[in-house]
């Protein structure tokens, strides 16, 4: 630990993420195509070891240009907030030079992520200015498979988002998302990764 107070913090995505987005073409026409890239990045992130099996994209809703890609970097960056959604939203805001991705004069944006955002990331997505969130599902299946605790997200989170002008689409890329989580669980069982937010004991209620 440093003895001096720190004045900044940062998270960085690995070069392979940029290469994967580039290989995918940087413009992704349909939701399935966008989620396929998110699932692929999540799968590769398991082997990378910098964080959990999660990836997110910020995409221009019409046209599908990828503004940013994020993967979970909690372990690599020593930042508990460095979830894929926070990384992708932050990189998109830095690229546009604005804290508001819904700012007038810019194309509408959507967040594509390989599961329902956790408690923290629901907040991050609400404040970011995206108009659409695309997920495979929002059931407890991911938590059951991986052991992650996503926090007390409100039951009516989709209604709460809708009231704030953010549409949520479920049911995109579900089989592959579940396959990535099972792969992660196997990786953990073999001792190659840790479920870092559950203190090893799961949800303590």
The stretch near Zn ion (CB under 5 A) out of 35-43, 75-83, 141-149, 186-194 is 75-83
Own/partner pairs, 184-193, CB within 8 angstroms, 24+ separation: 184/46, 184/52, 184/53, 184/145, 184/146, 185/145, 185/146, 185/147, 187/46, 187/47, 188/146, 188/147, 192/49, 193/46, 193/49, 193/52
What's the rounded Cα separation, in Å, for the pair 22 and 51?
22
Tally Cβ neighbours within 10 Å of residue 96: 18
Report in angstroms how near the CB of residue 1 gets to Zn ion at its nearest.
25
83 binds Zn ion (CB under 5 A): yes
* Cβ proximity to Zn ion, 64 vs 181, nearer residue: 181
88 binds Zn ion (CB under 5 A): no
Report in angstroms how near the CB of residue 2 gets to Zn ion at its nearest.
27
Report in angstroms how near the CB of residue 118 gets to Zn ion at its nearest.
3
* Cβ proximity to Zn ion, 24 vs 55, nearer residue: 55
- Sheet strand arrangement including 55-60: 66-71, 55-60, 109-113, 132-134, 167-169
Binding to Zn ion by CB under 5 A, coded x per residue (else -) over 102-141, reads ----------------x-xx--------------------
Q: Where along the sequence are the contacts to Zn ion (CB under 5 A)?
A: 83, 118, 120-121
């Amino acid at each position: 630990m440093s003895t001096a107070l720190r004045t900044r913090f940062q998270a960085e995505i690995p070069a392979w993420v940029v290469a994967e987005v580039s290989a995918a073409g940087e413009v992704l026409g349909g939701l399935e195509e966008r989620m396929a890239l998110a699932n692929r990045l999540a799968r590769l992130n398991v082997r990378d070891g910098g964080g959990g099996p999660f990836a997110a994209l910020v995409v221009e809703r019409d046209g599908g240009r990828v503004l940013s890609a994020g993967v979970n970097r909690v372990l690599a960056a020593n930042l508990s907030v460095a979830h894929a959604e926070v990384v992708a939203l932050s990189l998109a805001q830095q690229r546009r030079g604005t804290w508001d991705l819904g700012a007038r004069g810019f194309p509408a944006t959507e967040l594509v992520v390989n599961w329902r955002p956790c408690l923290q990331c629901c907040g991050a997505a609400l404040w970011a200015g995206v108009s659409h969130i695309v997920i495979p599902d929002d059931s407890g299946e991911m938590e059951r498979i991986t052991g992650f605790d996503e926090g007390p997200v409100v039951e009516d989170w989709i209604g709460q988002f809708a009231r704030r002008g953010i549409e949520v689409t479920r049911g995109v890329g579900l089989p592959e998302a579940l396959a990535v989580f099972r792969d992660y669980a196997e990786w953990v069982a073999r001792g190659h990764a840790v479920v870092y937010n559950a203190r090893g004991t799961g949800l303590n209620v």
